[in-house]
C-alpha cells in the first residue's frame, strides 16, 4: 500500500504545477504553457533518475519496442490532455478545471479493461455518479461572464487523455523493469518528457515561434512549474508502476479539495454551495469507480 502516500504527494505537487502553468497561459498560450511542464521538468527528471541509479541496486531494463511505443502513445495523450485542462481552467475556474479532468479516474478503469482488469458493478455505479456530476457542473450557464459548457467538454477531453496516458505509462514501466518500479518509473518519465519536449518545441518553432520565445524568456517563472511537474510526474509514474491506474487515480481525488483551496488563495475564486455538493458526489463516484 506504499503507493497511497506516493499518490497523495503526487496530487499535491500537481496542484502546485497547475497553478504555475495557469499563470503562464495568457502570455504563452495553452501549448506554450504545456511545453513549460515538459521542457523545464526534463533536467529535474534526469537528476531524479541519476539519484535513483546511484542510491539503488542493479537493474535490468528491457528497452524493447513495446516500451518505446507505450512512451510515445502516453506522451502524446498527456500533451493534448494538459493543453485541454489548462484551457478548461481558463474558461471556468482553477478548481472546476481540476474537477472536469478528474473524469480520467473512471475512464482509466475503462481503459484498463484492455489490459484484463474487470469492471464490477460498483465501478459502473461510480461511473454514473461521476458522469452525472460532470453534466451538472458543465451544463451551460454563466460563470464570471462565460459559459462553462465548453470548459466541461475540454475537461472531459483532458480526462480521456490522462486516462490513456496513465495506462500507457504503467505498461511502459512494467515492460521496462517490473522488479525495480522506482527506476522503471523515473526512466519512463525521462524518456517521455524528452519526447514531449522535442515534439512540442519543434511544433511551436514552426507554428507559433512567439510562444516559444515567451517560454524561454520567462524561464524564472517556468522553472518552478518544471520542478513541480517533474516531481509530481515522478511520483505518479511510481504509483502507476506499483498499482493499476484506476485505484491510483481514485486516491488522487484528494487533488480536488487542494485545488479548491489553491484557487481561493491564489486566484480569489469561490465555489457556490451547490458546486461543493456536486464535488462531494463526484468524489464518492470516482472512489467507487476505481476502488469498487
Q: Convert the pLDDT of each residue in 110-125 to its tens digit.
A: 676 666 666 567 766 7
Look at residue 152 in the predicted model and tell me its pLDDT. Answer: 74
Higher pLDDT, 139 or 44: 44
Instruction: Supply 61's cell numbers.
Output: 531494463
- Cβ neighbours of 86 (radius 10 Å): 26
Look at residue 260 in the predicted model and tell me its pLDDT. Answer: 64
pLDDT digits (tens, 9 = 90+) for 125-142: 776 777 677 667 655 555
Residue ranges with strand state E in 127-254: 142-143, 146-147
| CB of 55 closer than 8 Å to CB of 234 | no
Percent of the chain with pLDDT over 70: 73
| CB of 235 closer than 8 Å to CB of 242 | no
Please, what is the average pLDDT of the chain? 80
**pLDDT over 70 (residue 109):** no
Sign of CA dihedral 81, 83, 87, 90: positive
Single out the residue of 92, 117, 94 nearest to residue 106, CA to CA: 117
Give the pLDDT mean for 220-249. Answer: 86
**How is residue 147 annotated by DSSP?**
E
Look at residue 150 in the predicted model and tell me its pLDDT. Answer: 75
Which neighbouring-strand residues pair with 143? 146
Residue 249, C-beta contacts closer than 8 angstroms, at least 6 positions apart: 104, 105, 108, 162, 163, 166, 286, 290
Burial of 66 (C-beta count, 10 Å sphere; 0-12/13-18/19+): middle
Look at residue 145 in the predicted model and tell me its pLDDT. Answer: 47
Higher pLDDT, 31 or 142: 31
Secondary structure of 4-16 as H, E, C letters: HHHHHHHHHHHHH
To which H or E segment does residue 79 belong?
helix 65-91
**pLDDT over 90 (residue 168):** yes
- Cβ neighbours of 63 (radius 10 Å): 12
**pLDDT over 50 (residue 241):** yes
State the pTM of this model: 0.78
| CB of 65 closer than 8 Å to CB of 244 | no
| CB of 49 closer than 8 Å to CB of 186 | yes
Q: What is each CA distance from 113 to 71, 118, 163, 244, 276, in whole angstroms?
A: 19, 6, 12, 11, 31
DSSP 3-state of 110:
helix
**pLDDT over 90 (residue 227):** yes
Give the pLDDT mean for 48-57. Answer: 89
Percent of the chain with pLDDT over 90: 29
Give the pLDDT mean for 186-204. Answer: 95
Look at residue 234 in the predicted model and tell me its pLDDT. Answer: 93
C-alpha–C-alpha distance, residues 182 and 128, integer Å = 34
Amino acid at each position: 500500500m506504499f503507493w497511497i502516500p506516493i499518490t497523495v504527494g503526487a496530487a499535491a505537487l500537481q496542484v502546485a504545477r497547475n497553478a504555475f502553468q495557469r499563470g503562464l497561459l495568457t502570455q504563452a498560450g495553452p501549448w506554450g504553457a504545456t511545453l513549460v511542464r515538459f521542457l523545464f521538468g526534463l533536467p529535474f527528471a534526469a537528476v531524479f533518475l541519476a539519484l535513483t541509479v546511484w542510491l539503488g541496486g542493479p537493474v535490468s531494463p528491457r528497452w524493447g519496442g513495446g516500451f518505446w511505443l507505450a512512451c510515445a502513445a502516453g506522451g502524446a495523450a498527456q500533451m493534448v490532455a494538459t493543453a485541454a485542462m489548462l484551457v478548461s481552467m481558463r474558461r471556468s475556474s482553477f478548481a472546476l478545471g481540476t474537477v472536469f479532468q478528474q473524469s480520467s479516474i473512471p475512464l482509466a478503469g475503462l481503459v484498463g479493461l484492455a489490459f484484463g482488469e474487470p469492471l464490477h458493478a460498483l465501478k459502473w455505479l461510480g461511473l454514473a455518479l461521476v458522469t452525472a456530476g460532470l453534466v451538472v457542473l458543465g451544463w451551460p450557464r454563466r460563470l464570471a461572464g462565460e459559459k462553462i459548457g465548453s470548459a466541461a467538454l475540454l475537461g472531459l477531453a483532458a480526462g480521456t487523455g490522462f486516462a490513456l496516458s496513465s495506462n500507457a505509462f504503467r505498461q511502459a514501466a512494467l515492460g521496462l523493469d517490473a522488479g525495480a518500479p522506482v527506476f522503471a518509473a523515473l526512466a519512463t518519465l525521462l524518456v517521455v518528457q524528452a519526447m514531449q519536449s522535442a515534439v512540442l518545441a519543434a511544433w511551436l518553432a514552426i507554428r507559433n515561434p512567439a510562444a516559444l520565445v515567451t517560454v524561454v524568456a520567462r524561464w524564472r517563472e517556468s522553472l518552478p512549474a518544471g520542478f513541480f511537474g517533474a516531481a509530481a510526474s515522478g511520483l505518479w509514474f511510481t504509483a502507476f508502476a506499483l498499482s493499476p491506474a484506476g485505484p491510483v487515480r481514485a486516491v488522487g481525488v484528494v487533488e480536488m479539495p487542494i485545488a479548491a483551496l489553491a484557487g481561493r488563495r491564489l486566484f480569489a475564486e469561490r465555489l457556490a454551495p451547490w458546486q461543493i455538493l456536486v464535488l462531494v458526489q463526484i468524489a464518492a463516484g470516482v472512489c467507487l469507480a476505481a476502488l469498487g
